[in-house]
Structure 1
Amino acid sequence: MSETSEPQPNQAKKSGLARHLPLIAVVAVAVIGAMTLKDYLTFATLRDNREALVAFRDQNYLTMLAMFMGIYVVIVAFSLPGAAVASVTGGFLFGLGMGTFANVIAATIGATGIFLAARWGLGEFLNAKIENAGGRVQSLKNALRQNEIEVLLLLRLVPAVPFFVANLLPALVGVKLRNFLWTTAIGIIPGGIVFTWIGVGLGEVFDRGEDPDLSLLWEPHIIGPILGLCVLAAMPIVVKAIRPPRGKKTADTADTSDKTE
């Protein structure tokens, strides 16, 4: 007669450690990359190698596209320096249309990678803690669940929110993967177009001996429409906060009718 063996403490510890390995790897690579790559993933590096990159692109377009997207995925997934440079490079090498497509798809894939790493590690632990916490913490999470789509879109649209924060925070509070995926892909399009657009004219900027001006994002004619999208994304949250729940409204109406009889 066979007996069911229960997991040993050492096995439980190993499985717990294995769950955290992806996030540990992300943090380790991010720290190493911040110290070693910050002087290489720059516009100066792009300017010095522009002719070689353009020549390789002209001879191996699909290969260059695949290589570019792969590098961009790694930059985002490990929160390495150079994401803005990569976005501008997409416009420089592939134009506005294909450049925006490559930037958005690669950034979405990279963001999903770090989202999953965080959710498999700290996300499950913190989510369980929040579920058991009750009180204000639980109320906050319930509010997030009711407005999950709107909050995710706001995280992507608001330029002041760092990209890695918008990748990690949803994982730590138990956001659904499918909602994270499509809101990321849609939400980063406006900013992606701006950075890609800057890259389209990068050759002329380099010819003048200058670096691209990324402050263009904060120009009124650029930031205005983006902030307008933020307001649209926030409107459902405001309406839900102002409008009382249906049950409460029905109860209030019933009380009023009773008093009038």
Structure 2
Amino acid sequence: MSNHVSTSGPVPRTATEATTVDTNTHPAKKPSRVKRFLPLAVLAAAVATAFSLGLHEHLSIDALRQHRALLNGFVADNAVLAGLAFVSLYALATALSLPGGVVLTIAGGFLFGVATGAVYVVLAATLGATAVFLIARSALGSALRDRAGPFLKRMEAGFQENALSYLLVLRLIPLFPFFIVNLVPAFLGVPLRTYVLGTLFGIIPGTVVFVLAGAGLGSVFDQGGGFSVGSVLTPEVIAGLVGLSLLSLLPVAYKHVKARRARS
């Protein structure tokens, strides 16, 4: 009797081969276009609704003057609830890109004092800006980068190499509107962690300046004097912010000098 065993049947696959076949058979699904653009559409609709209702018109120094007693009384009686309400309102206004962020920052100092007001403002602004960043990155970021030309790709590479320093500069010096600085990093592939850190620390100096102004707003009201947002940004304040932004560029300058020395 022959001991030969036939091998004409199917040969068992190894675990690696099976995994490869299964992976190829079931490729990862990309998120649908509807799922990608739905948050952006909701945000756009909310922005349009807010402007059509004129909500941004209520963010003014005059509104603080008119409702001063009511606001101060509510904060005194409901400190925690008032803080949560303020942070939520500020984050929502930032996410909707409503004008009046400076007035809200002043209101933070006016209602909660310098230390607590600054913490609330920085937290709320970072939350709102991060929401915009995530929505823009998921909906448009990858599509724009895929269609980017050589110039934009070089700009993206340079920005990513020194993303934290550049973000700090953009946050420290108000050269561009806040909502523009929220969107551009999303299109240039900046990591979320870098974006959050750059926003968090970059807005602290300017926040403290306006919160300090807000903390003294009550005495201005008592004296019947006027107040303008522009009066806060004195030449000394602007010089200080510019100085901080130059310090944040030191790592970029160091990398540039180091690269030149290496080439030579």
Q: TM-score, normalised by structure 2?
A: 0.83
The CA RMSD over aligned residues, in Å, is: 2.4
Task: Look up the match of 1:61.
Answer: 79
SS in 2 for 1:244: helix
Q: Percent identity?
A: 36
User: What code does the residue aligned with 2:181 have?
Assistant: A
Task: Look up the match of 2:106.
Answer: 88
Task: Look up the match of 1:255.
Answer: none
User: What code does the residue aligned with 1:60 have?
Assistant: N
Contact 1:216–1:222 (8 Å) recurs in 2: no
What is the CA–CA distance in structure 2 between the aligned matches of 1:109 and 1:101, rounded to whole Å?
A: 12
- How do residues 156-235 of structure 1 correspond to structure 2 at under 5 angstroms? 156-235=171-250
Contact 2:110–2:214 (8 Å) recurs in 1: yes
Contact 2:213–2:232 (8 Å) recurs in 1: no
What is the CA–CA distance in structure 1 between the aligned matches of 2:34 and 2:75, rounded to whole Å?
A: 43
What is the CA–CA distance in structure 1 between the aligned matches of 2:203 and 2:182, rounded to whole Å?
A: 12
Q: Which range moved further: 207-216 or 96-105?
A: 207-216
Contact 2:110–2:216 (8 Å) recurs in 1: yes
User: Which protein is richer in helix relative to its size?
Assistant: 1
Distance 1:5 1:232, change over 3 A: closer
1:172-207 superposed Cα distances (whole Å, 9 cap, x missing partner): 111000000011110000000011111101112222
Unaligned runs of 5+ in 1: 250-261
Task: Look up the match of 1:78.
Answer: 96
Task: Look up the match of 2:43.
Answer: 26
Q: Which protein has the larger Cα radius of gyration, Structure 1 or Structure 2?
A: 2
Unaligned runs of 5+ in 2: 1-24
SS in 1 for 2:259: coil
Task: Look up the match of 2:120.
Answer: 102
Among 156, 159, 182, the residue aligned to 1:141: 156
Q: Which range moved further: 32-41 or 42-51?
A: 32-41
What is the CA–CA distance in structure 2 between the aligned matches of 1:221 and 1:75, rounded to whole Å?
A: 29
Contact 1:157–1:188 (8 Å) recurs in 2: yes
Q: TM-score, normalised by structure 1?
A: 0.84
Q: Which range moved further: 72-81 or 218-227?
A: 218-227
SS in 1 for 2:119: helix
SS in 1 for 2:147: helix
Task: Look up the match of 1:256.
Answer: none
User: What code does the residue aligned with 1:79 have?
Assistant: S
For residue 6 of structure 1, report the CA deviation from its aligned partner.
8.5
Contact 1:72–1:106 (8 Å) recurs in 2: yes
User: What code does the residue aligned with 1:114 have?
Assistant: V
1:73-111 superposed Cα distances (whole Å, 9 cap, x missing partner): 100011112211111111011100000000001100111
Runs of 4+ in 1 over 6 A off after TM superposition: 4-7
Aligned length: 241
Distance 1:39 1:139, change over 3 A: closer
Contact 1:115–1:171 (8 Å) recurs in 2: yes
